[in-house]
Amino acid sequence: MKIVSGMRPTGKLHLGHYLGVIKNWLDYQNSNECMFFVADWHALTNKYTDTKELQQNIIELVKDWFACGIDPNKSTVFVQSAVKEHSELALLLGMITPKSWLELNPSYKDLKFNLFFQYVRDFIYGKGLKISEDVIRDIVHKAFYHKKDIDFEGLEEDLLKIGLDSENIKEIIFNIKDGEIGKEIDTFGFFGYPVLMAADILIYKAEGVPVGEDQLPHIEITRELARRFNRFYGEVFLEPKAILTQTPKILGIDGRKMSKSYNNAIYLSESKEEVSKKVMSMKTDPQRIKKTDPGRPEICNVFTYHNIFTDRGVVSQIDSKCRQAQIGCVECKKILAESLNSFLEPIREKRENISDSQVKDILLEGNRKAREKAVKTMEEVRKAMNLWQE
């Protein structure tokens, strides 16, 4: 099967990326024709003001891929912006994309919701109110997903109920109405990114695209665009299938979603000492205050990590010892730090031996291979659409 998949170059990879994406790529590359690309144009859809680190981020990302075992002899590894044909196809597909498909795209809406939620949450915490994140999320969710427009009256009522004064509420509502919140994604580029994504996939006539459940709507738009194009101009594109991948059940060291912005991630390239330090600061079962308190591994984040990175035999020993208060959390974490370090050591070692210039050379060849395929598809597209040809 021909598989196309990309990642945005937003910095070094962490364990969540490894489990959610790279692990699957490693499986696919052995028995499929894979094209893995750095989606650098997509990184500009919401981070367009500061591009200083973009080029180095591309190199760091690809180093992480190679260190994990992505093999340029098996897969084509390339940079999206090095294959300009993606943008030509995105422009042409944009001509046939109904605006409503993009407006209804749930991830566009969800991202906007998240920005509103984060703003309201930070505002409330900034005023020193101790309201749980879940309660704030529910309030904003109720107002944001109210019919077509935001329900400001409902939002005002709910915020009053949790103790915010009316002046503060006015400020929140003013900032949301004013368009100040979320304005960084109120751009043509962000709005249209599913079309660019469709171009990234269709240009290589991909048969399969690995995605998490949240990205299924993008694949649906891609399939609909392929159908629409073929209906208007004749059969050029394949309709790719979504290959549903498991999203990792791994949280950050503070128990929240693992993310660079929460500063709670463990990176693949981190040193042994850094990894150990992070593991030792992980939250455990909150009811286990003293070593003599029996623990509940099923709700402990450290134990979730053990389940992934520690030998099965040791995991079951930890499980029963924790429940019987026969092991302390410090000791348990030390075991985890060892497991993680033995998993990461070969990755770190391989990464250190890859130079920037090696990455650039490999990308040069990958870009060339990808371009060859993209150029061929674009010739078919131009011909089918009866566009000007010299």
Site residues (CB under 6 A) for ligand SF4?
Answer: 284-285, 288, 295, 297, 300, 302-303, 318, 322, 327, 329, 332-333
Residue 179 or 313: which CB sits closer to ligand SF4? Answer: 313
Q: Which residue has the tokens 């505002």?
A: 123
Closest separation between CB of residue 309 and ligand SF4, Å? 13
Residue 52 or 290: which CB sits closer to ligand SF4? Answer: 290
Calpha distance 354→65 (Å, rounded): 11
Closest separation between CB of residue 335 and ligand SF4, Å? 8
Closest separation between CB of residue 311 and ligand SF4, Å? 15
Length of the chain, in residues: 390
Report whether 162 contacts 135 (CB < 8 A). yes
Closest separation between CB of residue 255 and ligand SF4, Å? 12
Report whether 124 contacts 158 (CB < 8 A). no
Calpha distance 305→249 (Å, rounded): 9
Judged by phi (left if over 0) then psi (alpha if -120 to 50, else beta), residue 359 lies in alpha
Residue 178 or 289: which CB sits closer to ligand SF4? Answer: 289
Closest separation between CB of residue 252 and ligand SF4, Å? 16
Calpha distance 155→146 (Å, rounded): 10
Tokens of 148: 């077509």
Calpha distance 303→262 (Å, rounded): 21
Residue 183 or 291: which CB sits closer to ligand SF4? Answer: 291
Residue 41 or 305: which CB sits closer to ligand SF4? Answer: 305
Residue 200 or 285: which CB sits closer to ligand SF4? Answer: 285
Report whether 89 contacts 203 (CB < 8 A). yes
Report whether 292 contacts 285 (CB < 8 A). no
The DSSP code for 251 is B
- Sheet bearing 76-79, strands edge to edge: 76-79, 33-38, 2-7, 208-211, 241-244
Closest separation between CB of residue 259 and ligand SF4, Å? 22
Residue 159 or 302: which CB sits closer to ligand SF4? Answer: 302
Cα 316 to Cα 30, 185, 298: the distances in Å are 32, 47, 12
Residue 164 or 300: which CB sits closer to ligand SF4? Answer: 300
Closest separation between CB of residue 7 and ligand SF4, Å? 31
Residue 130 or 290: which CB sits closer to ligand SF4? Answer: 290
Q: E-assigned strands of 146-293?
A: 208-211, 241-244
Residue 66, classed as helix, strand or coil, is: helix
Q: Which residue has the tokens 């459940």?
A: 213
Closest separation between CB of residue 266 and ligand SF4, Å? 16
Tokens of 100: 């409503």
Closest separation between CB of residue 332 and ligand SF4, Å? 3
